[in-house]
Structure 1
Amino acid sequence: MSSVKIDLGLTFDNSYAENLEGFYASCPGAKAPSAELVKLNTSLASSIGLSNANPAQLAEVFSGSQAPIGASPLAQVYAGHQFGGFSPQLGDGRALLLGEVLDKDGKRVDIQLKGSGRTPFSRGGDGKAVLGAVLREYILSEAMYALNIPTTRALAVVTTGEQIMRTQLLPGAVLTRVASSHIRVGTFQFFSSRGEQDKVKQLADYAIERHYPELKSSQQPYLDFLSAVCDKQAELVARWLLVGFVHGVMNTDNMTISGETIDYGPCAFMDDYDPKAVFSSIDRDGRYAYNNQPVLAQWNLARLAETLLPLISDDAEEAVAKATEAVTQFWDVYQGYWLAGMRGKLGISIEEEGDLALCEQLLESMSGQEVDFSQLFRQLANDLETSSLESTSCQSDKLFNDAAKFIQWKKLWMARLCRDDQAREKQLSETPSQEKRSLPDRVAMMNAVNPVYIPRNHQVEHAIEAAEQRADYQPFENLLRVLENPYTPQAGAEEYAKAAPESFGSYTTFCGT
């Protein structure tokens, strides 16, 4: 990286570099032969105070060729369970943390380059990324943000002017992303596996200070820290399932302490509902299938708990008991978030004991029916609005190959909505007059949480193909523009709400960034 530094107008405050010596390796990015800025997320750039640079300067910084003023480029070290097997040393093999900045609200965020060249943790790789994988992460992460799901964000895409060999030569690129932090379960595992408990404590104290400062005064801060991370991950994974997202590689090094979605590699959204949906080329046994994601999240959190045991209690038996209880509670917490989300998707306002069974029965009616997951929930709202749920022209029925089970489920749902109306009216009647509010419109409630648009796999591939093969970024820009407002029907965007044509075939994604 050149000694010349560029002023981006950013307020760097690099606490990780300053407070956690031994947790990273300082290193430069590789010089890009011909860096070009092809995408800047202008709204995100503005929110973090990025202002004082032209496209050529941004290309130099965001390719890794030059460091901005205030940056402290480093590669973080971590370990991780990958598909169940433990790797004692991983780390940022092709990523550089430029540093941390304080955004306009005073919130601390990381700025990280992905694909900027080899680091001490590259493990034989070239440290580079290809354009298609970079665009995929940009599209998916910004779609998740628009869907109100915690996630890293995409700040910029820079092409490097290189051709990178994968299965074939592909254009090289670097993604710049923004995150609350890049501290992972695997970061704790790295030091714990080496018996460096002082560094586990140092990391835990740093993570609490940065992400859970309310725990500093707790009488049991490390147990409460574990519980807080469990809660964040329970909510995150529930939100994934509610929109049909499959992460694809839920290794412990891909689970953040902050509770954000990270590392969009072999990920995808389902078109047809399939509890066993797998899109990753390397997940041959379905370890990280759609329905397994909460199970694996809990498994990962148990690995975090193992690293914290000496901090939870000096008594090993007591530490295990307390940590086990915290991790065991994950499932009920997850199910609570998921059920609350499903009630919203189905227009239910007031809790009822049988709601879990009702939601599970809906999924059972969908399984094996090649029914589009996103379209069904929007269509339910449409049918409710047009009062056509019981008619032979009910459009939601037509999404099924065989709607018999679904039709039976609809009767249960309609009866449930009637009871919900009664409960809402009763609740309203018992509300003091000065606090009364009109009952929210059910269809509007449903449409506010059921997206019209998700990153359909064929649309994502179309955008990537156009950019890789013809340097045509218009399909990419068009897709991003639609995904910015996923809950609102947009004129001329009808194709983006449709599932892939049959000719698209089965879909497989690959690790590649």
Structure 2
Amino acid sequence: MANAAPIPFDNSYARLPAHFHAAANPTPVSEPWLIKLNRPLAEALGLNADALEREGAAIFSGNVIPEGAEPLGMAYSGHQFGQFVPLLGDGRAILLGEVIGKDGVRRDIQLKGAGKTPYSRRGDGRAALGPVLREYIVSEAMFALGIPTTRALAAVVTGEPVYRERVLPGGVITRVAASHIRVGTFQFLAARGDTEGLKVLADHVIDRHYPELKGSERPYLALLEAVIERQAFLIARWLCVGFIHGVMNTDNCAVSGETIDFGPCAFLDAYDPAKVFSSIDQGGRYAYASQPAIGRWNMARLAETLLPLLDPDPSEAVNLANDAIAGYGLRFQNHWLAGMKEKIGLYAEEDGDLDLVQGLLSAMHRNEADFTLTFRRLCDAAESSANDGPLRELFGNAADIDTWLLAWRERTGRETLPDTQTAAAMRSVNPAFIPRNHRIEQAIRAAEDDGDFSLFEALNDVLAKPYEEQPAFAAYATPPAPSEEVLRTFCGT
């Protein structure tokens, strides 16, 4: 099947042992239409964006399999809300293959929603248009925010309905990732006692994501520690922008350290550490402030799979794994505190900095202050106390923030940067714009109900520059009105 827009595939995962994956050709659809091609990403991958604009509807719907592609579904297991499922796998995602971008980095190109695979079980392998748009918006917003993430290369309408609680238009998203290898991929092999397969997979991950570890005395322990470090960093960055993943199962935890799977995810409006949006998270397992602990739990599950590779002596292997996991907390705390200090303009080290950060968060919680607006308006307050007014308006009890501001100004007075430079530095880490949940829902409703993608396009444009003021789009920075507030988000399956 020749392709007018050749993609230079080089598919290393397809060359791994056969039981790691299963062949899975996309199921053609009737009337595909290309909603959006991410031209900057296409060009960074070394692809012909003009040709993809012409041929994208066919390629990114799965109607045409590009030359060099080797479509497959990846096998994996996973702990879903704490319960182990021995076989999950790509039930509605098909890995077309891998490309090496202009930066020399190998990345997966995957269709999500392109039909059944051998791992679909009773599912139809399809995606509704809403989750496709949500993943496109949020993954690209995360990239613009500077957070490690999978990305969206294209979105397509299939022209065919999908059947959920109601009939919805179908869609396919083309996802780009450093890889789609998950903690659950290791669990799949460990659950089958496949030590040789674990070694093959671990070597593949080291080659692909951590080549600097090849000369390590204990490469598999070094791999565990490296994945722990990236997860601690990633989750700290989530918390610094108010992001709630919503479904941090081990099969949604990428060993590359990227954010993966944007199902019931959401961003905080009013600050609440116990906030849950996901409709399927009935017990609050994946609440905003629970995410660091879940990250550690997921890393413990990865460590369990690697025990046979860590040391021939089972007791020593357990000791090594426990020591590695024990380091997660400090790694996370250091990344989180460093990020939060930058958000409030602190750069030197002082003993009371953690208390100052926590004092602001406590005041925000008591007053239900908007997370993003509080930090953005604090940037203005850093320039002059004359700018405190808009920040104080976010607090029902203004005395709460006034007390904190006194302590903050005493502390920032010992920093060396001029106030204007401090404010500029703070604006570079405190976004003016995030993917507000109600804005995403408005874009989805317009697209699903009326075929209107103008809100989707506008939202993507605004979110591409989250740290800039963009006065013409100031409305996109405001929290929802009570009637607009989104209380629940839903998985895309």
What is the TM-score when the length of structure 2 is the normalising length? 0.98
Q: Quick check: 1:235–1:334 contact (8 Å CA) kept in 2?
A: yes
Number of aligned residue pairs: give it.
Answer: 492
SS of the residue 1:38 aligns to:
strand
Measure the CA separation in 1 of the matches of 2:395 and 2:369.
Answer: 5
Q: What runs of 5+ residues in structure 2 fail to find an aligned partner?
A: none
Aligned counterpart, 1:68: 66
Matched, 1:192 2:172: no
Question: How do residues 2-41 of structure 1 correspond to structure 2 at under 5 angstroms?
Answer: 4-41=1-38
Aligned counterpart, 1:113: 111
Measure the CA separation in 2 of the matches of 1:56 and 1:439.
Answer: 51
Q: Quick check: 1:9–1:49 contact (8 Å CA) kept in 2?
A: no
SS of the residue 2:124 aligns to:
coil
Measure the CA separation in 2 of the matches of 1:384 and 1:338.
Answer: 21
Which of 374, 377, 396 is the matching residue for 2:375?
A: 377
Aligned counterpart, 2:436: 456
Which residue identity does 1:286 align to in structure 2? G
Which of 296, 308, 311 is the matching residue for 1:310?
A: 308
Deviations 1:388-436 (A, max 9, x none): 26xxx63212101223333222221111101223xx6xxxxxxxxxxxx
Measure the CA separation in 1 of the matches of 2:203 and 2:142.
Answer: 29
Aligned counterpart, 1:347: 345
Aligned counterpart, 1:415: 410
Aligned counterpart, 1:405: 400
Measure the CA separation in 2 of the matches of 1:505 and 1:268.
Answer: 12
Measure the CA separation in 1 of the matches of 2:266 and 2:139.
Answer: 11
Which residue identity does 2:300 align to in structure 1? A
Q: Quick check: 2:6–2:66 contact (8 Å CA) kept in 1?
A: no
Measure the CA separation in 2 of the matches of 1:250 and 1:419.
Answer: 40
Aligned counterpart, 1:274: 272
Aligned counterpart, 1:360: 358
Using the TM superposition, give the Cα deviation of residue 440 of structure 1 relative to its aligned residue in structure 2, in angstroms: 8.1
Which residue identity does 2:383 align to in structure 1? E
Question: How do residues 121-140 of structure 1 correspond to structure 2 at under 5 angstroms?
Answer: 121-140=119-138
Which residue identity does 1:107 align to in structure 2? V
Measure the CA separation in 2 of the matches of 1:199 and 1:11.
Answer: 28
Deviations 1:78-119 (A, max 9, x none): 000000000000000000000000111221000000000010
Measure the CA separation in 2 of the matches of 1:54 and 1:299.
Answer: 41
Deviations 1:269-319 (A, max 9, x none): 011101011110010110000000000000000000000011111111111
Q: Quick check: 1:463–1:475 contact (8 Å CA) kept in 2?
A: yes
SS of the residue 2:18 aligns to:
coil
Q: Quick check: 1:11–1:70 contact (8 Å CA) kept in 2?
A: yes
Aligned counterpart, 1:334: 332
Measure the CA separation in 2 of the matches of 1:439 and 1:347.
Answer: 9
Question: How do residues 206-225 of structure 1 correspond to structure 2 at under 5 angstroms?
Answer: 206-225=204-223
Measure the CA separation in 2 of the matches of 1:440 and 1:338.
Answer: 25
SS of the residue 2:472 aligns to:
coil
Aligned counterpart, 1:476: 456
Using the TM superposition, give the Cα deviation of residue 504 of structure 1 relative to its aligned residue in structure 2, in angstroms: 1.6
Using the TM superposition, give the Cα deviation of residue 512 of structure 1 relative to its aligned residue in structure 2, in angstroms: 1.5
Q: Quick check: 1:37–1:56 contact (8 Å CA) kept in 2?
A: no
Q: Quick check: 2:34–2:156 contact (8 Å CA) kept in 1?
A: yes
SS of the residue 2:246 aligns to:
coil
Using the TM superposition, give the Cα deviation of residue 54 of structure 1 relative to its aligned residue in structure 2, in angstroms: 5.0
Deviations 1:344-382 (A, max 9, x none): 100111111221111111111111312010001111111
Q: Quick check: 1:48–1:103 contact (8 Å CA) kept in 2?
A: yes
What is the TM-score when the length of structure 1 is the normalising length? 0.94
Identity of aligned residues (%): 53
Measure the CA separation in 2 of the matches of 1:190 and 1:113.
Answer: 22
Measure the CA separation in 2 of the matches of 1:439 and 1:225.
Answer: 42
Aligned counterpart, 1:511: 491
Measure the CA separation in 2 of the matches of 1:239 and 1:193.
Answer: 32
Structure 2 CA distance for partners of 1:440 and 1:216, relative to 1, 3 Å: farther
Q: Quick check: 2:62–2:114 contact (8 Å CA) kept in 1?
A: yes
Matched, 1:445 2:442: no
Which of 282, 285, 288 is the matching residue for 1:287?
A: 285
Q: Quick check: 1:155–1:177 contact (8 Å CA) kept in 2?
A: yes
Which residue identity does 1:485 align to in structure 2? K
Deviations 1:109-130 (A, max 9, x none): 0000000001000010010001
Which residue identity does 1:345 align to in structure 2? K
Aligned counterpart, 1:495: 475
Q: Quick check: 1:20–1:203 contact (8 Å CA) kept in 2?
A: no
Deviations 1:410-466 (A, max 9, x none): 221111101223xx6xxxxxxxxxxxxx99810001000000000111111111111
Q: Quick check: 1:10–1:48 contact (8 Å CA) kept in 2?
A: no
* Root mean square deviation, CA, Å: 1.4
Which of 146, 159, 165 is the matching residue for 1:148?
A: 146
Q: Quick check: 2:438–2:486 contact (8 Å CA) kept in 1?
A: no
Measure the CA separation in 1 of the matches of 2:210 and 2:438.
Answer: 40
Using the TM superposition, give the Cα deviation of residue 191 of structure 1 relative to its aligned residue in structure 2, in angstroms: 0.6
Which residue identity does 2:372 align to in structure 1? S
Q: Quick check: 2:437–2:486 contact (8 Å CA) kept in 1?
A: no
Which residue identity does 1:462 align to in structure 2? Q
Q: Quick check: 2:5–2:52 contact (8 Å CA) kept in 1?
A: no
Structure 2 CA distance for partners of 1:234 and 1:54, relative to 1, 3 Å: closer
SS of the residue 1:384 aligns to:
helix
